[in-house]
Structure 1
Amino acid sequence: MFARLFSMMLLAFCIAAGPMAAFPAYAAQSAPPGASSQIDAVLVLDVSNSMKTSDKDNIAGEAMKMFIDMLSAKGDKVGVVAYTDKVQREKALLTINSPSNKQDLKDFIVGLDRGSYTDIAVGVDEAVKVLENGSDPSHEPMIVLLADGNNDLNEATGRTQSESDQELAAAVETAKKKGYPIYTIGLNADGKLNKASLAKLSDQTGGKAFATNTADDLPEILSEIFADHLKLKVVPVQSITASGEYQEVTVTVPNASVLEANISIISSKPVTAKLTDPSGASVAIPSNNVLLSKSSTYSLLKLLSPKEGDWKLQVKGVPKDKIDINLIFNYDLELKMEALPSKTYKKGDTVGISAHLFSNGTQVSEAELYGNMRAVLLATDLDTGKTEELPLDNSGGEFKGSFEVKDSHNYELKVRAEESSFYRESQAVQVNAGGAATQAPVTAGTAGSGSEQQDGGRSWTLILIIAGILLVLAAAAVIWMLWKKANRGFVGQLVIEVLDGNTGEKTYPQYKKLTGFRGKFNLHQLLQLAPELRESEKLVFTPGNHDRLQLHGGDGIAVEKSGRAVDASRGLELKSGDRISVPLGSVDKTIMLEYLV
């Protein structure tokens, strides 16, 4: 921040004072990072006596078991830390190679005992150490914490809250440096959830925070965690009300690159299911390529390397019982942008862009897969902070396009490709086309004679220097104010639901953290740039004072609050708990938003 401000001041001073030497323009490209569909996860559980009231239905145990069932059939690693004011029990990272490995972990969770006190720092610190000591560098590490967020320290040990805070801060700092996002699931059966403390842990480490008091929310929460961590999308499947007979639901496998399809079925009463593959053949449940996991609150079907096409799932439940079905796919795909064709760029140059998908290190050449995806080049002008979205051609088994260097600025380029069930982003590439500003030499006038003219010349020179310095300081102040405004951060989160006007169906709430944005963002970005919802980019959010959110609507976008239309073109302030709805004119859908801090 200060370095950029200093550079701007230096540039302004040099323009005022005289010619500036030209700096060479260049393009810097860093190597793309490794991508993996494998997870190294540590499940952290508060097992203090207070959880008997904040989690009286043992949602935490069900969540942990369901998380384990959702993991890949082979290759993922899982550890468990159960804590009170000390580590009660611990299981080091275990590589999952068979169903028995998953069952061992679930049996370990069932056998956990309670303790008297609570110190959240102990659990988080131990989880970080487990990952440090046993995670695979090629895997995606993560921590999932299930707690009510409250401490209850044992006075007899002399442990103070300040000491706990210091230990927690050190563990969080390590997690940030190592790239260990902490996802929190707050348990709130007794209404005493410390939501803020758990949200802070997630915000600081790049995870997400959730809260629940019912097991019904677990499929949505866990799917959202998986989706966020592995750059996937939760695919909504229509909920049904059981009739006592088999009812059919279509599960579409979009392409041949799907490694696994997780179908979670939630019902308060027992259900039975049948499955038919795209060819119409009946598939046994369970079988070699269809795994079945059950608990008292859910059933989970895992299709291994499923055929592309429409699968038919038939579910039979107790009449009038609501059955929720959730779907998430797992891919082993990485998006890489080809090295830029040149290392030197200037204003007016055109940069060729090409990107490809890779599976297990091998370039994917299926034209159909590319054709089903929408790809854009995200070009960010680092001098102004403005991001331009340029569509890329997706024909011919690659994503292809070009970028024009419009100004002598620094740019950051990356490709984002997405379809209905997942998205990928390439490693960012920095392009420096920042040629130096120059100024024509000043034409010398006729020199005066005598000491009076010399003194006068010195005085004018001094005045000009002082004026130049004042001008630079004024310009720096303006630049600082503009930079501060453009990079002001956000707080809180937006809860998003989409209502389909044709079917009346509403998607599960999605919790979108706002802390990653600076200056402003539009609603379309939160909706993962879904093409059919492009109209929502007319709705722009900026940070307000006192943890408020400012909403600004463009032409042709409607906003409703408390059932009444409001004029968002002049700006609308949202405080925590406010709800609005945005009916879209291009499609029969309504976006419902709730702002929470």
Structure 2
Amino acid sequence: MTLLGRVLVPLLAVLVLLVPAAVPSAYAAGSGSAASAGASSQIDAVLVLDVSNSMKKSDPGGIADEAMKMFIDMLSTKGDKVGVVAYTDKVQREKALLTINSASDKQDLKNFIDGLDKGPYTDIAVGVDEAVKVLQNGSDPSHEPMIVLLADGNNDFNESTGRTESQSSQELDAAVQTAKKNGYPIYTIGLNADGKLNKNSLSALSTETGGKAFVTDSADDLPQILSEIFADHLKLKVVPVQSITANGAYQEVTVNVPNASVLEANISIISSQPVTAKLTDPSGKEVAIPSNNVLLSKSSTYSLLKLLSPQEGDWKLQVKGVPKDKIDINLIFNYDLDLQLEAIPSKTYKKGDTIPVSAHLFSNGTQVTEQELYGQMKAVLLATDLDTGKTEELPLDNSGGEFKGNFEVKDNHNYQVKVRAEESSFYRESNAVEVKAGGSGTPAPSASQAPLEQAGTGGGLSWTKIVLIAAAILILAVAAAVWMFLKKANKGFVGQLVVEVLDANTGEKTYPQYKKLNGFRGKFNLHQLLQLAPELKESEKLVFTPGAGDRLVLRGSDIAVEKSGRAADASRGLELKSGDRISVPLRSVDKTILLEYLV
């Protein structure tokens, strides 16, 4: 018997023989705690900057520093905490987590970044390890921790120190495991200006810790990437307002504030030349920049307007720039909104039962009843069958100041349910609740069994002995079934998938990302492989399982798959061998996922 079997059988024996009275409650629903799984409105961020000499060539304009400063400006006016680690092959300079309570605190952080010096050599492990320690020493348990790592190349060690790649890898692995254990997602930005960046290494850091990986050839993309990271961490969406080519005169764009629940609206104006701006509120009144409710941050590459508790409606922004200068305008709202799923009654469920579900938005701990806000959002119940792994998406009604619907128990299985609600500028997911419908409990003895119990007072087998023997047989059967299920569920993968994303509107294709599969067990979906990018959520309908002979099997319904230029039927399982390529066009966005399986 395997180690799992040797441990599992006596454990099951203890559970069955000692806790029979607890069986009914074991099939009850989850606790249904109202604790929110939504993002906190406060961040504890450590910005990790590569300040090796190579950055002078990769980023001659210093845009990386400007992008990090813009990230700081996008944070809330009060409450967030930020630390900075500048590294080469050692920690060049460090700033512990600083609580932002005023504009001067943000300026202090930005001045610190401006004062960083460059140095020789590079060792990414040093920067990551120090960032983890900064969070361990100063992170607030009620905040959302994160690490943002910028690197422009591979490790470059100082030979005089004797440092080896193996030593660096061990230190990095230990730091990553600590980050993973403590819930510190690492967002990586690879600046691949010289084409020598180890993209796979950076991507692995993000995948392992639940962050996201970004790669770019140009430092010009860094402000946009930092905006995406800020939004992703707080379950927000970057809303592109408009890109304009300056003509030397004021040009007007409309900025829509969708509802009254917006705490802050960050309008980023990114350009290579200075710009000036004017602002008019929805009532038509011109608003001074800056003023009590409109904060202004400026640098050589961006201007950031932060509207505090902005009035709902259409704001008019007028921007004047240097002729022929390209100006990109984006909007990121900040909400103090959590989504909470109402508790599901604790009871025994069975196939065919219908369970009413209801979820509400909460702001600053108070339930939001504004029907218009609910009406602007699309909400679905995500019901995952824990026995099969299949997730069903059920639309919810949003018309009555709540999200409500019904969940029908389709089989005597265990389920996990949660609610996802989204609109154009943000999304939220509720706490998950487990619904157990594993059966109706232990059946009562039949009439034919009664004489056996009575006969137990004499010779032969007593009823007690028969029960114990039957229990032992049941334990062995359950242990064997569980072992076989776990063995199948934990079957590993081999090889890797090469992933590219093609934008149908622009024709642009992302750089290939090589996703090693040996970290997955049993199954995974394409959305997980794409690091759970919200706009690519449709891809979760495609599920991968390991096949025989180092092959990969994919299954999916209601999602298109093409192989060799032809539509392929993935509903019954499509097998991929090494070298096979498929494409997955997503209907929800004009993008196609290109995949190549390599062993």
TM-score with structure 2 setting the length: 0.79
Report the 3-state secondary structure (helix = DSSP H, G, I; strand = E; otherwise coil) of the residue aligned with 2:542: strand
Structure 1 residues 302 and 555, CA gap change in structure 2 (3 angstroms) = closer
Q: Partners of 2:7 and 2:371 in 1: how far apart?
A: 46
Q: Return the match for 1:150 from 154, 158, 165.
A: 154
Is 1:567 matched with 2:567? yes
Report the CA distance between 1:541 and its aligned residue.
5.6
Report the CA distance between 1:160 and its aligned residue.
2.9
Any conservation in 2 of the 1:350–1:404 contact (CA below 8 Å)?
yes
Q: Partners of 2:540 and 2:85 in 1: how far apart?
A: 46
Report the CA distance between 1:381 and its aligned residue.
0.9
Report the 3-state secondary structure (helix = DSSP H, G, I; strand = E; otherwise coil) of the residue aligned with 2:382: strand
**1:483 maps to which residue?**
489
1:353-364 equivalences in 2 (<5 Å): 353-364=357-368
Structure 1 residues 553 and 364, CA gap change in structure 2 (3 angstroms) = closer
1:190-229 equivalences in 2 (<5 Å): 190-229=194-233
**1:318 maps to which residue?**
322
CA shift digits 1:323-371 (9 cap, x unpaired)? 2222211111111112112333233322221111111111111111111
CA shift digits 1:68-97 (9 cap, x unpaired)? 111112211111111222221111111112
**1:381 maps to which residue?**
385
Q: Partners of 1:214 and 1:386 in 2: how far apart?
A: 40
Question: Gaps spanning 5+ residues in structure 2: where?
Answer: 11-19, 450-473
Structure 1 residues 292 and 555, CA gap change in structure 2 (3 angstroms) = closer
Any conservation in 1 of the 2:121–2:158 contact (CA below 8 Å)?
yes
Any conservation in 2 of the 1:220–1:508 contact (CA below 8 Å)?
no
Q: Partners of 1:212 and 1:320 in 2: how far apart?
A: 24
Any conservation in 2 of the 1:56–1:189 contact (CA below 8 Å)?
no
Report the CA distance between 1:128 and its aligned residue.
1.1
Aligned partner letter, 1:388: E
CA shift digits 1:255-307 (9 cap, x unpaired)? 11111111222223332222221112112222222222222222222111111
Any conservation in 2 of the 1:394–1:400 contact (CA below 8 Å)?
yes
1:57-96 equivalences in 2 (<5 Å): 57-96=61-100
Q: Return the match for 1:266 from 263, 270, 284.
A: 270
Q: Partners of 1:357 and 1:247 in 2: how far apart?
A: 37
Structure 1 residues 592 and 407, CA gap change in structure 2 (3 angstroms) = closer
Report the 3-state secondary structure (helix = DSSP H, G, I; strand = E; otherwise coil) of the residue aligned with 1:72: coil
Any conservation in 1 of the 2:153–2:192 contact (CA below 8 Å)?
no
Q: Partners of 2:485 and 2:325 in 1: how far apart?
A: 61
Q: Partners of 2:282 and 2:582 in 1: how far apart?
A: 42
Is 1:302 matched with 2:306? yes
CA shift digits 1:8-27 (9 cap, x unpaired)? 999xxxxxxxxx99942211
Q: Partners of 1:261 and 1:119 in 2: how far apart?
A: 38
1:173-252 equivalences in 2 (<5 Å): 173-252=177-256
CA shift digits 1:405-460 (9 cap, x unpaired)? 2222111111111111111111111122212687999999xxxxxxxxxxxxxxxx
Report the CA distance between 1:382 and its aligned residue.
0.6
What is the number of residues matched between the two proteins?
555
Deviating more after overlay: 282-291 vs 510-519: 510-519
Aligned partner letter, 2:121: Y
Is 1:99 matched with 2:99? no
Report the CA distance between 1:538 and its aligned residue.
11
Q: Partners of 2:525 and 2:593 in 1: how far apart?
A: 15
Q: Partners of 1:223 and 1:118 in 2: how far apart?
A: 26
Aligned partner letter, 1:143: I
CA shift digits 1:546-581 (9 cap, x unpaired)? 9998777868958698xxx53233769699998958
**2:52 maps to which residue?**
48
Deviating more after overlay: 427-436 vs 327-336: 427-436
Aligned partner letter, 1:336: Q
Report the 3-state secondary structure (helix = DSSP H, G, I; strand = E; otherwise coil) of the residue aligned with 1:239: strand
**1:542 maps to which residue?**
544
Question: Gaps spanning 5+ residues in structure 1: where?
Answer: 11-19, 445-467
Report the CA distance between 1:537 and its aligned residue.
6.9
Is 1:253 matched with 2:249? no
**2:292 maps to which residue?**
288
Deviating more after overlay: 430-439 vs 190-199: 430-439
Any conservation in 1 of the 2:266–2:305 contact (CA below 8 Å)?
yes
Is 1:110 matched with 2:114? yes
Q: Partners of 2:190 and 2:527 in 1: how far apart?
A: 27
**1:27 maps to which residue?**
29
**2:415 maps to which residue?**
411
Any conservation in 1 of the 2:581–2:594 contact (CA below 8 Å)?
yes
The Cα RMSD (Å) is 4.4
Q: Partners of 1:145 and 1:438 in 2: how far apart?
A: 58
Structure 1 residues 356 and 497, CA gap change in structure 2 (3 angstroms) = farther
Q: Partners of 1:310 and 1:401 in 2: how far apart?
A: 33
Any conservation in 2 of the 1:495–1:596 contact (CA below 8 Å)?
no
CA shift digits 1:439-491 (9 cap, x unpaired)? 999999xxxxxxxxxxxxxxxxxxxxxxx999999988985686357x86996
